[in-house]
Structure 1
Amino acid sequence: MAPAPLDAGAKNLLVDKLRQLPARAAPAPTPAPQAPGPVDPFEGARVPEVIRCPTFGDARPRKRIVTQRHLDHFQHGPLFAEILGILRAGNDAVRGKKLTDAVSESAEVQALVAIVDQIHALVQDTPRDTDSASVSRFGNPAFRMLYEKIRGATGDLMESIPGLAGPEHARAREELAVYLQESWGNAKRIDYGSGMELNFLCWLLGLVKLGILDLARDAEALVLRVFWKYINVMRIIQATYWLEPAGSHGVWGLDDYHFLPFLWGAAQLMDHPYLRPKSIHDPEIVAECAPAYMYFSCIQSINAVKTESLRWHSPMLDDISGVRTWNKVNQGMVKMYRAEVLLKLPIAQHIFFGDLLSFGAWDEDEGDIVEDEHGHRFAADAPHSHGHGHGEGQAAGWGDCCGIPIPSVFAAAEQKAGERTVRRIPFD
């Protein structure tokens, strides 16, 4: 629930506080790099190639990354560069822009906004299983009903996009539908994480590659309208069905579920005259800025469901708040997204590849591949029945993508106001 707006007196106090902040100093010249490595965090990014008349086979998109060699192949392929390309386009488009600014929305963007609205309507028509909620703080099984409703509606939703209607586009709709369905969480595990968020980005990328979306025209609206509406509906889904975090990273991540709102949110703030990263520790500034900036809205959401300070439950965000400029925060976010999402095997194993978002030529025989209960693919003769060792991701700074189930923090937040029938976990 959104906080009550500040009254006039509180706003005047806040404005006075902001005016008393020190004036923005001129940025120091950037020193030349002293060690090899990319200066541009988007190094290698390229504008997605538009394929006007794509050729589709009969196979649906599937997971292809099984080993580190597959991941290396993906890293040096065109799809990786195009994912960075759409990230960069969104980053550049929202620099210095507010969520409350007027944004030009094409008919295609309006159709995507309507799709997210229709999924929100499905959530409203699918109540939580109260019997399960009374005894468990883990994922609510009613989410599986919602997921089936989304799956059943996806065909009509995809056909509502201008340029995708008609039988001649049936295969394109089927291919992109996979990414849209996977964007809302995992029905088996009843969880959600940055891999699902990546699927939503891939859905938008597929529409760009089909020429339906034009990044030069639509990038700003895609981030500030489509993506942000998706994030808000996902928050409702997470709170309604108590989705578990898709991974046991806990305090290793930015928050329990999302990454991109922090990345693009930092871009919004890069040219701000007085807001600094450390401003996230001031409740009044957070409350005033949350409606306009994704980063502050994310901090507000975390504070609404977790007790204690960021230092305890979100130490990475706390550390980032000590960075001097939003430009540095944004650059760090991009580097972290590359390393900890796109190139982290436990997460990359869940990326889908098809004819439009292609894995590229792979000449080696993959052998017999099986999939475990977590959705990981691995060689049938592998000594372990899991695509990665438990703890491997966490040791690298992110955490297993599907380790020990974690109770939903939303469940704890709801139960703390009344009589608790289940024990809370520390710092939730």
Structure 2
Amino acid sequence: MSSKLGYDVTDPTVHVLRASSFMQNGPSKQVRSLEDLDRWVRSQAYHDTIAYISNTSRAIQGHRLTRDFPVTEQMRRLCEIFDGLEHLLVEHTPKADESNASMPVGQLRSRSYRTWMQHMFQHVFNKLDDAIHENCKHINELGQYLRRSFGNATSVDFGPANELMFLFFLCGLFRAGILLAKDTVAAALMLFDRYIHLVRRLVITYALPIAKDPMSSVDDYYFLPYLWGAAQLSLDCPFTPMECEQSKVIESYRQDYMILNIIEHLQKTRGGQLSEVAFHLWSILSIPTWPQVYNGLERNYRDHVLCSFRTVEHAIFCELMSFEPVFSPSQLERAYLGQDRQKNEEDMELEPRYAKFHWELSPPVSRYNSMEPESFLGFPQSTTENKSDDSEDDRLCMVRQIANETDPNSTSFFPDRRANTNDSLTSFGNDGP
């Protein structure tokens, strides 16, 4: 029951209990056995993930990486996070010297990778604080998704489970209202593209092995670049799927399309033709049209990546990406590409006054309406802007608690803008290899 003074926490609603649980526990793992996979495919997070992938796929049809698309100031600030991560990678590239001359190369790489991960943890939260508007109560959840996107410091590997966490990060940015509908194309072709390029450097620098389900049709560290790469080409494509391995096509368009950039990378790193180094992918690219390629990849991604226990057992869930079951289950929407976008444009021509508002009315995923911290803690909502520093810090620290403290990828973070960088990094001294 509620009153004008606040909430009566002696008889809390289900929503208040859930929100209080998020505040106290933070993001946590939910898929611990094969039986939990059924709960996962019925969860809000799964439905939001499918909706985000499908709507983004529609949005990026016909767009090239090098062509103009809307890039907001918020998007630029988020991309700057990767500038610092690239710099950290240069600083912590494994180098043999006199102090570790007797150390095996593999052990040296593992130690350097864990050191990079420790610095990355701190960098992610500091830069998110700068990139996202102040007083965003979802910053801890978004930070946890982001810092799990770069591999596993315990097993020293990388796979689609880490890519899923970056997908949660992207989806969460839209769910929290930090990114808007007009950011949809840039989130995939700019922010996600920066992520993939950094992942490639991490894999090469530290020789990370692949951690993936063998049933996946793509024998690579990630899957979404292939899926969204096919979506890019599903409208106004200058070449067919069977032509994308030709050297002249790669040379002409590798800067424009994700999938060509990846094919070139595979050929260079694995040393051979696509039919030799990635047979399953080569087989899929024998399909006549790009929308058909997309449909085949999308089906495999759902069945053998998103529904793989090896992928989802590492995922964490919280408020934006919730493991709670959907209240009114509906058929999951699939992106039918190609002529679908042309029909939408024709519809807008019939109603031109709505055309300029198209993206504002069509976000890639539904906005999450959260309760204010004062509400679900049982306090009346404040009407004044003057709050003590102590109360704000206490509430922020409570939001940023991590459930699994034994997970080396889950180091707690307590921001202190007054502390310098060297002092703040000392909090990770016990989290090394």
TM-score by length of structure 1 reads: 0.67
Match of 2:85 in 1: 119
* Alpha-carbon spacing, 1:137–1:145, altered in 2? closer, same or farther (3 Å): closer
- Map 1:246-261 → 2, pairs under 5 A: 246-247=211-212, 249=214, 253-261=217-225
CA contact (8 A) 1:129 1:141 kept: no
CA contact (8 A) 1:141 1:190 kept: no
* Alpha-carbon spacing, 1:90–1:334, altered in 2? closer, same or farther (3 Å): same
Of residues 56, 63, 75, the one that matches 2:29 is 63
* Alpha-carbon spacing, 1:288–1:297, altered in 2? closer, same or farther (3 Å): same
Instruction: Classify the secondary structure of the residue corresponding to 2:304.
Output: helix
Match of 1:234 in 2: 199
Deviation per CA, 1:112-140: give whole Å up to 9, x if none: 11112221111122121435896449954
Q: What is the CA-CA distance between 1:356 and the residue it aligns to?
A: 2.4
**2:65 is equivalent to residue 99 of structure 1:** yes
CA contact (8 A) 2:79 2:191 kept: yes
Of residues 169, 179, 183, the one that matches 1:218 is 183
Q: What is the CA-CA distance between 1:310 and the residue it aligns to?
A: 2.2
- The one-letter code of the counterpart of 2:260 is F
Instruction: Classify the secondary structure of the residue corresponding to 1:281.
Output: coil
Of residues 128, 131, 138, the one that matches 1:158 is 128
CA contact (8 A) 1:277 1:325 kept: yes
- Map 1:396-411 → 2, pairs under 5 A: none
Of residues 337, 340, 361, the one that matches 2:304 is 340
CA contact (8 A) 2:241 2:290 kept: yes
- The one-letter code of the counterpart of 2:59 is A
**2:288 is equivalent to residue 318 of structure 1:** no
**2:262 is equivalent to residue 292 of structure 1:** no
Q: What is the CA-CA distance between 1:358 and the residue it aligns to?
A: 1.3
- The one-letter code of the counterpart of 2:194 is K
**Larger radius of gyration between Structure 1 and Structure 2:** 2
Of residues 35, 48, 59, the one that matches 1:82 is 48
- The one-letter code of the counterpart of 1:154 is V
- The whole-number CA distance in structure 1 between the counterparts of 2:169 and 2:29 is 15
Kindly indicate whether structure 1 or structure 2 has the higher relative contact order, using CA contacts under 8 Å at least 6 residues apart: 2
Q: What is the CA-CA distance between 1:151 and the residue it aligns to?
A: 0.8
Deviation per CA, 1:324-366: give whole Å up to 9, x if none: 000101111111111111111121111111122111169xxxx
Of residues 227, 231, 234, the one that matches 1:270 is 234
- The whole-number CA distance in structure 1 between the counterparts of 2:262 and 2:123 is 29
* Alpha-carbon spacing, 1:113–1:373, altered in 2? closer, same or farther (3 Å): closer
- The whole-number CA distance in structure 1 between the counterparts of 2:120 and 2:47 is 30
- The whole-number CA distance in structure 1 between the counterparts of 2:170 and 2:26 is 18
Structure with the higher helix share, 1 or 2: 2
User: Considering only aligned residues, what root-mean-square deviation do their CA atoms show, in Å?
Assistant: 2.7
Deviation per CA, 1:70-101: give whole Å up to 9, x if none: 11112122211110111112211110111000
- The one-letter code of the counterpart of 1:246 is A
TM-score by length of structure 2 reads: 0.66
**2:272 is equivalent to residue 308 of structure 1:** yes
CA contact (8 A) 2:211 2:221 kept: yes
Q: What is the CA-CA distance between 1:181 and the residue it aligns to?
A: 0.6
Of residues 202, 212, 218, the one that matches 2:168 is 202
- The one-letter code of the counterpart of 1:98 is R
* Alpha-carbon spacing, 1:371–1:111, altered in 2? closer, same or farther (3 Å): closer
CA contact (8 A) 1:90 1:220 kept: yes
- The whole-number CA distance in structure 2 between the counterparts of 1:262 and 1:203 is 19
